[in-house]
Amino acid sequence: MGTTLFSGCRSFSWQQLSLSCSFAHSSSSENGISRPKAVPTSRGNGLVDKEKDNSLGISSRRSLLITGISVASSSVLGFPGEGMAVVKQGLLAGRIPGLSEPDEQGWRTYRRPDDKSGGHGVGWSPIIPYSFSVPQDFEEVPVSIADLGGTEIDLRFASSKEGRLFVIVAPVLRFADNLGDDATIQKIGPPEKVISAFGPEVIGENIEGKVLSMNTVEHDGRMYYQYELEPPHVLITATAAGNRLYLFSVTGSGLQWKRHYQDLKRISESFRVV
């Protein structure tokens, strides 16, 4: 019976996966004994094979190469069983994990990583990190430019059990051109002005008659506006920092709202720009 041996890799790079690997596999049996046969080393964009081979042999060598790369990436990165998926995930812009381990109540804190890409734009300073807390079953999900809020949605989380949330980071220039690079939510305007301007973007419809409550709270010298709208069920926390406005939206279905309102409210009130 043939055996397969992965003998080694000479180079690995985060930016470009470049592997030069040597493989040996059984190709024939003589007198009932399987004898190894050397296979040419792979270089550049594919295998260099000077021997004529049938389609089955070519397919076998390609499968072996893919297996070798997967093993190599798992070994180098320290994530057994993930293979190339780990490499690709690590290179996706904006998908750097930022969740802490759960506390004794099962809640985790998300802090936007300093090195996270996306949303900076030409002439803009890096996004000032923000944080919030969520129950353990909330997970980050991909952001699409087709989402409500478009390219200004910086982050999205969801839980099939409790609800979902997203963060909009928008330039304060949308309100005024004289706020500079140290804007505050008070400079942008009172709570009524802010929700009237951005509420329709968050819920996708006119907010007239939907604002159930408006509150202002201060944490570490920064003012936050807090809103509850219905329908649809949504909690919004707004503040400003640098040259951007931050809108934190937490929502859920009718059943989620009924069962998990206190958790959703706690998530909304935990939002901070750090």
Give me the torsion for CA of 204, 205, 208, 212, rounded to 10°. -40
Which distant-in-sequence residues (6+ apart) come within 8 Å of 179 by Cβ?
172, 173, 187, 188, 243
> Residue 219 pLDDT > 80, yes or no?
yes
Sequence ranges of the domains in the chain: 107-273
DSSP 105-164: TSEEEEE--TT--SS--TT-PPPPPEEEEEETT-EE----TTSTTGGGEEEEEEETTTEE
**Rounded CA separation 9/18 (Å):** 9
DSSP 182-247: S--HHHH--HHHHHHHHHHHHHSS--TTTEEEEEEEEETTEEEEEEEETTTTEEEEEEEETTEEEE
Look at residue 123 in the predicted model and tell me its pLDDT: 52
Between 216 and 96, the more confident residue is 216
Phi, psi of 227 (to 5 degrees): -130, 150
Q: Give the pLDDT confidence of 53-89 residue by residue, as tens digits.
A: 444 444 445 444 444 444 444 433 333 443 333 333 3
**Rounded CA separation 2/139 (Å):** 44
Q: What number is the average pLDDT over the span 184-204?
A: 92
Q: Give the pLDDT confidence of 105-145 residue by residue, as tens digits.
A: 999 999 999 878 665 454 556 889 999 999 999 999 988 76
Chain-centroid distance, C-alpha 10: 31
> Residue 191 pLDDT > 50, yes or no?
yes
**Rounded CA separation 225/64 (Å):** 58
Between 18 and 159, the more confident residue is 159
Query: For the ranges 24-33, 84-93, 122-131, 231-240, which has the lowest average pLDDT?
Result: 84-93
Q: Give the pLDDT confidence of 143-162 residue by residue, as tens digits.
A: 876 665 556 889 999 999 99
Look at residue 86 in the predicted model and tell me its pLDDT: 37
Between 182 and 29, the more confident residue is 182
Give 41's pLDDT tier (boundaries 50, 70, 90). very low
Look at residue 7 in the predicted model and tell me its pLDDT: 41
Q: Which of 39, 243, 256 is nearest to 135 (CA)?
A: 256
**Rounded CA separation 271/246 (Å):** 10
- What letter represents residue 182's amino acid? D
Class of domain 107-273: alpha beta
**Rounded CA separation 233/213 (Å):** 12
Alpha helices in 3-123 (DSSP H): 55-77, 84-91
> Residue 214 pLDDT > 80, yes or no?
yes
